[in-house]
């Protein structure tokens, strides 16, 4: 059994992005720029935004950190997003979700220009993904694919099961796996005989947000298991997969924390560089 070291792979991706940014700037271009927009004073969201800005600085991407008060209106947020859409220094825009309750996060995300949608969440980005046309893809699903790629998991004709159907992870990772020529089943909380469906999987992606939903004996012998879940149980972070029993059967598995999580920010940096190149 191989334990996937998400931190080490994320660092490799960051190093590659830093080298590519340096080459881009050396060729006479402006450094890519990432604008983060945080509405309100949610402590966890502030930490996430801070980490993204810090990651930008590490790879020489310009960071533009915008904060709006908790009582900001929909028009206030839209006005800022439209200004950032028009700013040539800004390659990518990220609206930190969720915003305060009086604001509609997904609706506001639609205001981001598709070419700057480094989270890959606008309806146009979603359409480009499902049509397999060039565009920016959601960061966490990209991170999952990167982990599989760096461990030489052969997806051609493989049976892949994705447990979860969210717009953030489940649906896009299913699309990416399908484009890699895997045979994909999207399962969810209403799936009949979920245990049997999971046992068929050569690649099992858990992205449902229920701690230890996937039992160890649901894992096919030798399967690659990507656990996207991030749940708090007895004060500790844990995944959607019952890790201690799953490691007995999996050929490859991500821990939680330290598996998929670090890749999300690394892929955000890569997307920001891609957005800058696409706009040039």
Task: Could you list the residues known to form a binding site for NADP(+), using ranges.
Answer: 164-166
DSSP 196-232: HHHHT-SEEEE-S--TT-B-GGGSPTT-EEEE---EE
Could you count the other beta carbons within 10 Å of the beta carbon of residue 232?
9
Number of H helices, E strands in the chain: 10, 11
Is there a catalytic annotation at residue 202? no
Whether the link from the prior residue into 171 is cis, omega within 30° of 0, is: no
Q: Which residues are annotated as a binding site?
A: 164-166
Question: CB–CB of 85/112 below 8 Å?
Answer: yes
Grouping H, G, I as helix, E, B as strand and the rest as coil, residue 63 is strand
Is there a catalytic annotation at residue 119? yes
Characterise 257 by phi-psi region: left (phi > 0), alpha (psi -120 to 50), beta (else): beta
Element (H, E) at 166: none
Q: Name which of 243, 259, 198 is nearest 5 in CA terms.
A: 259
* Catalytic option among 62, 116, 119, 240: 119
Is there a catalytic annotation at residue 62? no
Contacts of 173 (CB under 8 A, 6+ apart): 140, 141, 144, 145, 162, 205, 207, 228
Strand arrangement, sheet containing 159-163: 2-3, 252-253, 224-227, 203-206, 159-163, 183-187
Could you count the other beta carbons within 10 Å of the beta carbon of residue 276?
24
Whole-number Å distance between alpha carbons of 225 and 239: 11
Active site residues: 52, 96, 119
């Amino acid at each position: 059994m191989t334990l996937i070291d998400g931190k080490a792979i994320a660092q490799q991706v960051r190093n590659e992005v830093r080298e590519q940014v340096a080459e881009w700037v050396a060729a006479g271009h402006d450094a890519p720029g990432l604008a983060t927009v945080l509405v309100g004073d949610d402590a966890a969201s502030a930490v996430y935004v801070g980490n993204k800005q810090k990651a930008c600085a590490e790879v020489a991407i310009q960071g533009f950190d915008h904060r709006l008060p908790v009582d900001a209106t929909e028009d206030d947020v839209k006005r800022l997003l439209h200004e950032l859409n028009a700013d040539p220094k800004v390659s990518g825009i990220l609206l930190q979700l969720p915003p305060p309750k009086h604001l509609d996060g997904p609706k506001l995300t639609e205001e981001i220009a598709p070419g700057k949608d480094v989270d890959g969440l606008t309806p146009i980005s979603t359409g480009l993904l499902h049509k397999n046309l060039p565009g920016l893809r959601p960061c966490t699903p990209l991170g999952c694919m990167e982990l599989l790629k760096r461990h030489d998991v052969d997806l051609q004709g493989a049976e892949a099961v994705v447990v979860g159907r969210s717009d953030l992870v489940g649906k896009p990772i299913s699309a990416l796996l399908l484009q890699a020529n895997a045979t994909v089943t999207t399962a969810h909380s209403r799936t009949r005989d979920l245990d049997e469906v999971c046992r068929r999987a050569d690649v099992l992606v858990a992205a449902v947000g229920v701690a230890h939903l996937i039992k160890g004996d649901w894992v096919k012998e030798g399967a690659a298991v990507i656990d996207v879940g991030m749940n708090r149980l007895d004060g500790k972070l844990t995944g959607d997969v019952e890790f201690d029993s799953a490691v007995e059967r999996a050929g490859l598995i991500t821990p939680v924390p330290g598996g998929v999580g670090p890749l999300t920010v690394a892929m955000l940096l890569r997307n920001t560089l891609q957005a800058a190149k696409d706009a040039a």
